Structure 1
Amino acid sequence: MLFNSIEFVLFLPIVLLLYWFGTRRNIRVQNMLLLAASYFFYGWWDWRFLSLIIISSVVDYSVGLALAKNTDEKRRKLLLLTSVLVNIGFLGFFKYFNFF
């Protein structure tokens, strides 16, 4: 699904309507809706790569939770470095290993 496609023209208003009127202003439900809509949007392009964004989301969310719990600066830097390296690793792997 591209931003200038008919599918997106239908997808965006549906997501926005659900976000504003279907979630009863519950921030947790709104966040889950946006996450699910993002996965759907990304998966529409090519479902085979959906695992990449899910893995990246899980790693980043886990690192975020760990960062909130830790006060040790060295540990926090290591956690942040882990998240950055995982995400840059995905980018580098797909850029330089000629998948396309």
Structure 2
Amino acid sequence: MYWLVASKITLRNLFIIIVSYLFYGWWDWRFLLLIAFSSLVDFVIGQYIFKTEDKKKRKSLLGIGLLVNLGFLAYFKYANFFIDSFIQSFSLFGKELEPTTLNIILPVGISFYTFQTLSYTIDIYRKQLEPTKNALAFFAFVSFFPQLVAGPIERAI
């Protein structure tokens, strides 16, 4: 289908994004916002890191990217674990707390696309890669459905 869509790479990338988002959103459409936001953050931060020579500003921008992406990953993967551990630690002292968890659903492939977008940003920070100016190409790179849920984590080279 990819080769039949059009001869222009822009339309092919748009096709890949649409198909990938349909694939990813089929399980739970709400997580589309998460992958889109994560992609947008790293695309924009990559552009700003590349444009600035100020080391402090570059490091701050990288820190923002790390904080946003690893923050999402930590929340979805570990929030319930830490809540349960906190409640269980009180039982060691004879204090029973009412167990409540947030019932957070882990988005499919969150680790893969988080580390993939972060590697892109880190490579730009290290001046090993120039950022793409093509948002469609970047979003297609991040959301490419055959490798989105099972990897491998691709480098943006």
Q: What is the TM-score with the length of structure 2 in the denominator?
A: 0.46
- The residue number in structure 1 matching 2:9 is 27
- Assess, with a 3 A threshold, how the Cα gap between structure 1 residues 36 and 74 changes in structure 2: closer, same or farther: farther
Deviation at 1:43, TM superposition (A): 0.5
State the Cα distance separating 1:21 from its structure 2 match.
Answer: 3.2
| Identical amino acids, percent of aligned pairs | 48
Q: How many residues align?
A: 82
Quote how far apart the aligned CAs of 1:59 are: 0.8
Larger relative contact order (C-alpha < 8 A, sep ≥ 6)?
2
Structure 2 residue 56 is matched with structure 1 residue 50: no
Q: Secondary structure at the match of 1:45?
A: coil
Find the counterpart in structure 2 of residue 65 from structure 1. 47
Q: Structure 1 31/81 Cα, relative in aligned 2: closer, same or farther at 3 Å?
A: farther
Is contact 2:24–2:32 with CA below 8 Å preserved after alignment?
Answer: yes
Q: Tell me if structure 1 keeps the 8 A contact 2:52–2:58.
A: yes
2:21 matched to 1:39?
Answer: yes
Give the gaps of 5 or more residues in structure 2. Answer: 81-103, 106-157
Unmatched 5+ stretches in structure 1: 1-16
1:40 shift after superposition: 1.7
The answer to whether the 8 Å contact 2:5/2:15 transfers is no
Q: Distance in 2 between matches of 1:78 and 1:42?
A: 31
Relative to the length of structure 1, the TM-score reads: 0.67
**Does structure 2 conserve the Cα–Cα contact (< 8 Å) formed by 1:39 and 1:50?**
yes
Distance of aligned partners of 1:34 and 1:78 in 2 relative to their CA distance in 1, 3 Å threshold: farther
Cα root mean square deviation, aligned: 1.9
2:31 pairs with 1:78: no
Amino acid at match of 1:68: F
